[in-house]
Amino acid sequence: MEEIQEQQQINSEESVIESEGLEEKDEDDEKKGPPQVDSKEEILHEKVTKKIIKEGRGEKPSKYSTCFLHYRGWTKSTQHKFEDTWQEQRPIEMILGKEKTELAGLAIGVSSMKAGESALLEVGWELGYGKEGNFSFPNVPPMADLFYEVELIGFDETKEGKSRGDMTVEERIGAGDRRKMEGNVLFKDEKLEEAMQQYEMAIAYMNDDFMFQLMGKYRDMALAVKNPCHLNIAACLIKLKRYDEAIAQCSIVLSEDENNVKALFRRGKARAELGQTDAAREDFQKARKYAPEDKAIIKELRLLAEHDKAVYQKQKEIYKGIFGKAPEPKPKQKNWLIFVWHWLVALFCRLLKLGKHKSE
């Protein structure tokens, strides 16, 4: 399979993509309800409406397309969030026309979307969890109308509706590799969001359950698809100043290959930007151990050294002002009138003393 062609230097992080598939969550996200959307409402079905949050591109999926999506679900009456796939940072697979009964309304919404589109769906209980609801996971009460915030990452037009689970190992790796290569083409055209979605779909084919089953050459083949995608995501996130997320992507690669030079370099870059200089230096030094002549790594280590020197000089100036030698007091200006007066008094006293001496 083809590898992603990058520049010879490690700092080829500029050659990569961005996506909104991995979103940064607020700490109080659990307390939030569905987003407020001002766009025009579109009626898709008697029990399904849609408001577009972000426009997509290209065609819409057809029946039996394998769709990859993220979504959050809320009950309309209580605003209780019962499911959130973004929290696990892995897209969900849905084959249109073969979806679960409780996801029928969601599938209708997805079938109306384009790749990259985000939307808010309102689904009646008849096309959701029904009259009985669901009391396990997810926990949805009986006859609950639903809200879904959905992002369609992308889809594969497979007429036979073949899911990942039904594919052979070679088919899954091949499908992921095709997505990776499509992402590369989009990146070269600087279509960063679209390219990122392709990389994320490639990673979806290489999910944890699948990777756990692989050994030997098949595992190596899968990692050759999966790891470059994570590294490209990390590089893009650095450009977008989303450094914490970039660190997480690099750490995924390093959990598989602790000596991966590109992952160490890019994680070091992200840590340096966050001011974590000691951790960044550790990453760069380890990367240099395996690529001692790499100019990009040497440059970053030099920049860290210059940064440390500047900080030291600044602190030295601050402490010098606090603990340094006290300035000498300025000499007081003399009052010349007082000086003349004292001179005249002394002269008068001397003349008196001389006069007295002569009289004697």
Query: What's the pLDDT at 9?
Result: 40
Task: Note the maximum CA span of the chain.
Answer: 143
Segment 323-341 mean pLDDT: 61
Q: Is the pLDDT of residue 57 over 70?
A: yes
Query: How do residues 229-280 score in pLDDT, each as one tens digit?
Result: 989 888 888 888 889 989 998 999 999 899 999 999 999 999 999 999 999 9
Amino acid at 194: E
The SS3 assignment for 158 reads coil
Q: What pLDDT is stored for residue 187 in this prediction?
A: 75
- Between helix 216-239 and helix 169-188 the angle, nearest 10°, is 30
Q: How confident is the model at residue 7 (pLDDT cuts 50, 70, 90)?
A: very low
17, pLDDT greater than 60: no
Predicted pLDDT at 93: 87
Quote the CA–CA distance of 98 and 287 in Å, as a whole number: 47
**What is the gyration radius of the CA atoms in the chain, in angstroms?**
35
Question: What is residue 327's predicted lDDT score, i.e. its pLDDT?
Answer: 56
Least confident of 83-97, 131-145, 251-265, 296-310: 83-97
Domains and CATH numbers, the chain: 39-156 (3.10.50.40), 250-321 (1.25.40.10)
Residue given tokens 């659990």 in the structure block: 30
Q: How many CB atoms lie within 10 A of CB 171?
A: 13
| 71 neighbors 151 (Cβ within 8 angstroms) | yes
- The SS3 call for residue 31 is helix
Given the DSSP bridges, would you call strands 118-123 and 48-54 parallel, antiparallel or unpaired?
Answer: antiparallel
- Backbone angles phi and psi of 151, in degrees to 5: -125, 120
For residues 109 and 94, give the distance between their C-alpha atoms in angstroms, rounded to a whole number. Answer: 12
Of 134, 154, 159, 156, whose CA–CA distance to 144 is shortest? 134
pLDDT in tens, 138-186: 999 999 999 999 999 988 876 555 677 788 899 899 988 988 888 888 8
Q: What is the mean pLDDT of residues 321-328?
A: 58
How many residues does the structure list for the chain? 360
Instruction: Report residue 319: phi and psi, to 5°.
Output: -70, -30
Report pLDDT digits (tens) over 187-213: 778 777 787 788 888 888 888 888 888
Mean local confidence (pLDDT), 5-30? 41
The pTM (predicted TM-score) of the whole model is: 0.64
Residue 286 has pLDDT above 60, yes or no: yes
How does residue 282 score in pLDDT terms, banded at 50, 70 and 90? very high
Q: What is the pLDDT of residue 234?
A: 86
Question: What are 174's two structure tokens?
Answer: 């091949």
- Are the C-beta atoms of 137 and 111 separated by less than 8 Å? no
Q: From start to end of the chain, where are the E strands?
A: 42-45, 48-54, 66-75, 81-84, 92-95, 118-123, 146-156
Instruction: Band the pLDDT of 314: cuts 50, 70, 90.
Output: confident
